[in-house]
Structure 1
């Protein structure tokens, strides 16, 4: 498989990424984790750049509001993890660029999502805080919470916001699945199921291994999805587990500050993509459940990656944080 870098742009501490597509409009969006811009690049117009916001930043998560070019995003998640001033904003597409409204203050919220309700009446809100309070950046004595509620897009508010009876230390990972979410932290991996007609929020522990991030794909083509996990907070280890979280393989401590992670189909089979932000700062294609890998790019230090398709071509979008570079690679299968 060949990866050709076809586009790059400068963005200091680029971090959060998203494909934003609706009707005939098509963008990729990249935001900085510092007090820097968020840019939207027009995929229909040779990556023409629009500034979504110029200088707020501190963005960890962006979520598209289904059926629109509008999205929600965190801001002010700085300095570092001592982010008491974190907030969520809504960006509304006006035909040219985006207008901002503030949804509210959400201290220490690192990952969040909106999930369609079972009856189609709106959206559930899920927010994972990396801590509940902090004396300083390295203080982890007051663990984070999993916050839930209802997102009302008409009023641009989160209603009935409350924390589940659960504390999670150093949450970093979140993955939306089919009908549930995976949430990770020091205590392991948890499955969160939204309410149904007869049940409230359900939270189940799936693994007790300290986990930073998680993705799934059928990497060994056995008909069941495997899990790629970054082990330890920003951990140096990679682990591949089967669908019951039994270990298949585990790396040596050779991927410091593991961060970027993706899994899914490229061509006719599944792969994982992984990158880390210290040491070699490589971006790699993982080709087997034994963690065999092909180098995509080096000395990039990617924070987040995703794959998208456009006009029959597959692309990799990477926020190459340590190189302060937004990059798009054409994938030749």
Structure 2
């Protein structure tokens, strides 16, 4: 497997890594958490086409394409952990070839950190996780975060009516979008553990919730690395933690089977995916060696391989294209927007 890095831009405090498919082509999106740094889009085989998505404001945590809408997304803007009360909000982006991106506000949502859009019987539902509900200052974690759900209207700028799905989740930071029997499922990580959320089959049905792993969980990803038909769980522990583990499901619950043995600090991002068709976890650490690395199962054991040190990804996104995979990397420590191109040797 060959991995070649492509430097896209200098981007202060680059934080969000995403992708949207438009007009039959993948478009990479990278954005900053800084208040005054742009969000940009890159396309073309060598990412030679660069377009501005927005210039201000920043504070972007997540960008999620809207299902069944080729050229629309929702995004978080103005999430600044040091600012109280929170300015965080959800915005709607819509692209037109003539005018570019038009961005409109959807709803104010203090401390919204991660969100997604699920297809529930053909209807799009917004699901969002707040890292806390209120704060007096950055390090005040006395009020837990929540998970909200709401039907997404055809015109998101008309707003979303939300209801609380779960409460009492302190440091509600981690999130992974999984699939189970072809359906969307969500895994949310907090000091209370991993909460698995399963949407109903049809609009108006019951949303299911269950804690599947105890512990202070900062991030989650799932993938079936060992090929036994059951996905393993990779975690960062605790919040902004110094440990990365893999758990396997057994009859009496999940058992820890692997721990990353590098000294790490401020581990922040996990992805469960495939690289050149091989099941993999990809992970990023923001301090110490500030590495991006992948883990695969080889000869009966989990093996970690470092891709690059000194870059400190805040978030990663893996995109599959014909003949290559793309690891889109928001290299926060290096103040860099980058993509790693993965091909077979």
Tell whether the structures are fold-level matches, with TM greater than 0.5.
yes
Tell me how far apart the structure 2 counterparts of residues 260 and 242 of structure 1 sit (CA, whole Å).
20
Residues 1:302 and 1:194: Cα distance change in structure 2 (over 3 Å): same
SS at match of 2:254: coil
- The change in CA–CA distance for 1:201 and 1:85 in structure 2 (over 3 A counts) is same
Unaligned runs of 5+ in 2: none
**Secondary structure of the corresponding residue to residue 160 of structure 1:** coil
Query: Which stretch shifts more, 226-235 or 310-319?
Result: 310-319
User: Structure 2-normalised TM-score?
Assistant: 0.90
Stretch of structure 1 that moved more, 40-49 or 299-308:
40-49
Classify the secondary structure of the residue corresponding to 1:156.
helix
In structure 2, C-alpha distance between the alignment counterparts of 1:77 and 1:290, rounded to whole Å: 40
Report the TM-score when normalising by structure 1. 0.93
- 1:182 deviation in Å? 0.7
Q: Which runs of 4+ in 1 moved over 6 A?
A: none
Q: Show the 5 A alignment for 1:54-203.
A: 54-66=55-67, 67-80=69-82, 82=84, 84-96=86-98, 97-118=100-121, 120=122, 122-178=123-179, 179-197=184-202, 199-203=205-209
CA gap 1:44/1:247 in 2 versus in 1, 3 angstroms: same
Q: What is the CA–CA distance in structure 2 between the aligned matches of 1:315 and 1:189, rounded to whole Å? A: 28
Taking a change above 3 Å as real, the CA distance of residues 224 and 196 of structure 1, as seen in their structure-2 partners, is closer
Cα shift readout 1:150-187 (whole Å, capped 9, x = no counterpart): 11123534433121352101011111122321111010
Report the secondary structure of 1:17's partner residue: strand
2:294 corresponds to 1:293: no
Aligned partner of 1:260 in structure 2 is 269
Deviations 1:81-123 (A, max 9, x none): 75611011101101142001110101111111111122x1x21
Q: How many residues align?
A: 331
The match for 1:324 among 293, 311, 335 is: 335
Could you list the per-position Cα deviations for residues 242-286 of structure 1 after superposition, in whole angstroms to 9, with x for gaps in the alignment?
Answer: 134221123458221011211221224211111100111011121
1:45 Cα shift?
A: 6.7
Would the aligned equivalents of 2:325 and 2:341 in 1 still touch at CA under 8 Å? yes
Structure 1 contact 261–273 (Cα < 8 Å) conserved = yes
1:323 aligned counterpart, secondary structure: coil
Paired position in structure 1 for 2:238? 232
CA contact (8 A) 1:25 1:44 kept: no
1:82/1:108 contact within 8 Å kept: no
Question: Residue 210 of structure 1 corresponds to which residue in structure 2?
Answer: 216
Give yes or no for contact 1:173–1:183 (8 Å, CA) kept in 2: yes
Whole-Å separation in 1 of the counterparts to 2:309 and 2:49: 26
1:290 deviates by 5.3
Distance of 2:159 and 2:152 partners within structure 1: 4
- Secondary structure of the corresponding residue to residue 3 of structure 2: strand
Query: Retained in 2: the 8 A contact 1:193–1:202?
Result: yes
Partner of 1:284: 293
Give the Cα separation in 2 of the matches to 1:146 and 1:228: 21
CA apart distance, 1:303: 0.8
Does the 8 Å contact 2:329/2:339 carry over to 1?
yes
**What's 1:26 paired with?**
26
Report what 2:38 is aligned to: 37
Of 217-226 and 279-288, deviating more is 217-226
Contact 1:81 1:108 in 2 (8 A): no
